[in-house]
Amino acid sequence: MSSVRALLLAVEPVGPDALGGDVYDRFKAEQDTLIVPVIDEEGRPVGIIERNAFFLRMAAEFGRALYARRPIHLVMDPNPLVVEADAPIAAFMGRMLTERPSDLLRGFILAEDGRYIGVGTALGLMQHAHQHAQLTMRQIEKLAHYDPLTGLPNRALFQKQFADALARAARSGEGAAVLCIDLDHFKSVNDTLGHNHGDLLLGMAAQRLQRCVREGDTAARLGGDEFAVVQNGLASPDGAARLATRIVTAMAEPFDVEGHQVVVGASVGIAIFGTDGSDAEELLKKADMALYRVKREGRGGFHFFEPGMDENLQARRRLELDLRRALQAGEFEVHYQPLYDLAAERITGCEALVRWRHPDRGMIAPVEFIPLAEETGLINPLGEWVLRQACADAATWPSDVRVAVNISAVQFRNPNFVSSVVSALANASLPAERLEVEITEGVLLQDSAYNLELLHKLRDLGVRISMDDFGTSYSSLSYLRSFPFDKIKIDQSFVRDLPRDAEALAIIQAVTGLGASLGIATTAEGVETQDQMDKLREYGCSEIQGYLISRPTPAPKLLEMFGVAAMGEAAPAIEMPSLLAPPVAIGSRSRRAA
C-alpha cells in the first residue's frame, strides 16, 4: 500500500499503472499544479512537494525515465509544514488554511515509488476526510503500524509488541529473545541495480524471514535493511541460536530479482530476556551490539550479546570520530612497497599503501581503520585522496615505473569512481598506462555485468587491472574467464611457507602456469627470503614484492631509492576531498552460523 494512500480520497485517478511519463506530461499541461501534500511512511502528515522542486531535484537530475524509481523524500519541500505525529488529516489541512492559504491549489498525488496516482485539492481532501472519517482512520492506522514495502510491523508497532511480550514473559516465567538482523551488502544492490530492485529484494527477504519464525513470534522491519524478531516462549538460548541459523541460511540463498541473481546474506545479533536485561530498549541495544560483532568478524553469522561489547562499541565510535577528524586534519600518508621484476631484475612499480599517523596512538594499522572507513562510507574521500596522491607521486618517478592502487568494493561501486580516476591522472599529468588498479573478487560479487562494464571503461583509458589475493576463493578462476586481467597477485598465504610447503608450491606452479598460458603477469606477495624468491623465479613468477625487496616506505625515501637526481622534487601533498556525508550515527551491530 502506498504511503500516501490516506490522501487519495479526492483524487482524479488516471489508472493504477500510470508512471513517470504521465507525471511529466500533466505537469507541463497543468500550470496551476504547484503543491502536493504528502504523509510519511507511518501515515503522519509531514509536508508538501513544490512543482519547481520536483523538476529541479527529480526531472533535471534523473530524467523522466527514472521518475518511478526515486523515493518521494528526495523531492520534499526543504521547509515543509509539519504537524504533530498523531495529528489527523483535518488538523494538517487546518494548518494549511491558516498558515499557507496560497498552497491550497491543485496538486499531484504521487506514490512512494514515484508513480502518479491522480490529482486532488487540499480542500477536497479535507472535505472527504470528514465524509469518510472511518475509512481514513483505518488507512492511517495501518500506515502508522505496518511497513508499506514489506507488510511487516514497523518500528512503532514492534516496540509495542516487544514490550507486551516482555511483560508476558515476566508474568509467566517463560524465556524470550530479540534478534536484530541486517542484510549483508544490501547497499551494493541499491548502488548497482537501483532502489527499485533494492525494494523488491527487501520484500523477498521479508517473506523468507516470516517463513523462518514460528506462529506467535513477531518479525518486523525497523527501517532500511534492518529487521528484528521477538522470539516468545523460549526454553533455552539454543532455541534462539537455531532460529538465527535458519535466518542466516535462508538469506544466504540467491535472490532472483527480475532476472538478476543477487547474493546478500544476513548477520544476526541476539539478546536474551533476563540474562541480558529486562527492558525492551536495553535488549534491542545489546542485540544490536552483538550484530555489530558479527559484521566486524566477517558477516554471514550470528552472535549472542556478551559483557564488554558496549566498551568495544564505545571504542569504535571514538575511532570513527578520530577517523573523520583525521581526514580533515591530513593525518594520512601514502607509503610505497616496490614491485620487483624477476626477469629484468629491477623495480618496475610500487604499490600505494595508506597509513594513519594518529597524534596520540601513533601509526594505526590499515586492518583497523579500513573496514570502518568502508562501513561508514569514508572510504570514498579517503580512497580518492590516496588515488590522487599516488598519481602525483608516480609522476615524479622514472617514466617506466608504474603505481598500483588498491580499490575497495565500496569505492569501486561509487558512481563517480571512473571520473575520479580520469581526474587523478589528468591532474598529475600521469599516462594512464602507468596506473594499475588492484581489486579483489569482493568487488565483482554483485551485478557482474555492471562491474565488467566499469573494468572495460578503465581498460579503455589505458589503466592496467590486477586481481589481488588470487587463489583465496573458489570463484577466482571464473573471474579470469569474464575479464582479461593484466595481472594476478598470488596471496602471501601461499608464499609464507615456501619452499617447504609442497601444497603451496603446487598451487603457485599452477597459478604461474595459468598466467603464462593466458598472457597474464603474476606477482607474489609477502616474499621475505632469498629461497622464496629463487623458487618463485624457478616456477615462472613474473614479479615479487615483500620485505626481501623493501618494506613500505614514505615517498621521499622512495625517491632516494630511485635516485634524487633522476627524479627532481617530490610531489606536493594533495588535499583531502571534502566530506560531503554528515556524521553517521553508528548503532552497535557475531557467533558464526553452523
Q: Are residues 383 and 325 in the same domain?
A: yes
Q: Higher pLDDT residue, 81 or 209?
A: 209
Predicted confidence at residue 220, as pLDDT, reads: 93
pTM: 0.54
Report the share of the chain in percent with pLDDT over 70. 67
Domain membership flag for residue 295: yes
Q: Are residues 295 and 336 in the same domain?
A: no
Give the number of domains in the chain.
Answer: 3
Q: Is the pLDDT of residue 484 over 60?
A: yes
Q: Are residues 435 and 489 in the same domain?
A: yes
* CATH label of the domain that carries residue 87: 3.10.580.10
Domain membership flag for residue 81: yes
Q: Is the pLDDT of residue 54 over 50?
A: no
Q: Are residues 345 and 300 in the same domain?
A: no
Q: Are residues 284 and 226 in the same domain?
A: yes
Predicted confidence at residue 487, as pLDDT, reads: 92
CA distance 389 to 391: 5
pLDDT category, 143, cuts 50, 70, 90? low
Whole domain around residue 274: which residue ranges? 155-307
User: Which of 256, 274, 307 represents a domain boundary (last residue)?
Assistant: 307
Q: How many helices (H) and strands (E) does the chain have?
A: 23, 21
pLDDT category, 187, cuts 50, 70, 90? confident
Strongest mean pLDDT among 19-23, 269-273, 316-320: 269-273
Mean pLDDT computed over every residue of the chain: 75
Predicted confidence at residue 215, as pLDDT, reads: 84
Domain membership flag for residue 56: yes
Cell numbers that stand for 115 in this block: 508513480
- Residue 102, C-beta contacts closer than 8 angstroms, at least 6 positions apart: none
Spatial CA neighbour of 231 closest among 222, 311, 221, 220: 220
In the DSSP assignment, the letter for residue 59 is I
Q: Are residues 558 and 478 in the same domain?
A: yes
Q: How many CB atoms lie within 10 A of CB 390?
A: 28
Domain membership flag for residue 577: no
CB 289 within 8 A of CB 313: yes
* CATH label of the domain that carries residue 499: 3.20.20.450
Spatial CA neighbour of 338 closest among 539, 508, 561: 561
Domain membership flag for residue 416: yes
Predicted confidence at residue 171, as pLDDT, reads: 87
Domain membership flag for residue 430: yes
Q: Is the pLDDT of residue 154 over 50?
A: yes
Q: Is the pLDDT of residue 62 over 50?
A: no
Q: Are residues 219 and 342 in the same domain?
A: no
CB 470 within 8 A of CB 444: no
Q: For 503-512, what is the mean pLDDT?
A: 85
pLDDT digits (tens, 9 = 90+) for 564-581: 444 445 566 666 554 433
Spatial CA neighbour of 463 closest among 492, 494, 486: 486
Q: For 297-305, what is the mean pLDDT?
A: 87
Q: Is the pLDDT of residue 347 over 70?
A: yes
Predicted confidence at residue 368, as pLDDT, reads: 84
CA distance 69 to 66: 5
Which residue, chain included where needed, has cell 488516471? 14
CB 292 within 8 A of CB 314: no
Q: Is the pLDDT of residue 105 over 50?
A: no
Q: Are residues 248 and 323 in the same domain?
A: no
Which amino acid is present at 152? L
CA distance 115 to 24: 11
pLDDT digits (tens, 9 = 90+) for 514-568: 888 888 999 999 999 999 999 999 989 999 999 999 999 998 888 888 874 444 4
Predicted confidence at residue 446, as pLDDT, reads: 57
- Region of 538 on the Ramachandran plot (φ > 0 left; ψ -120 to 50 alpha; else beta): alpha
Spatial CA neighbour of 426 closest among 450, 461, 476: 461
Q: Are residues 439 and 497 in the same domain?
A: yes
Cell numbers that stand for 477 in this block: 578462476
Predicted confidence at residue 442, as pLDDT, reads: 67
CA distance 498 to 501: 6
Predicted confidence at residue 100, as pLDDT, reads: 56
* CATH label of the domain that carries residue 212: 3.30.70.270
pLDDT digits (tens, 9 = 90+) for 204-263: 999 999 999 988 899 999 988 999 999 988 888 999 999 999 999 999 999 998 888 888
pLDDT digits (tens, 9 = 90+) for 377-415: 889 999 999 999 999 999 999 999 999 999 988 888 888
Q: Are residues 439 and 298 in the same domain?
A: no
Q: For 36-44, what is the mean pLDDT?
A: 45
User: Which of 252, 274, 307 represents a domain boundary (last residue)?
Assistant: 307
Q: Is the pLDDT of residue 102 over 80?
A: no
What sign results for the dihedral spanned by CA atoms 440, 416, 63, 38?
A: positive
Q: Is the pLDDT of residue 91 over 90?
A: no
| Rg, Å, the chain Cα set | 28
Q: Are residues 90 and 188 in the same domain?
A: no
Predicted confidence at residue 433, as pLDDT, reads: 96
Domain membership flag for residue 140: no
Q: Are residues 297 and 328 in the same domain?
A: no
User: Which of 257, 275, 307 represents a domain boundary (last residue)?
Assistant: 307
Predicted confidence at residue 367, as pLDDT, reads: 85
Domain membership flag for residue 585: no
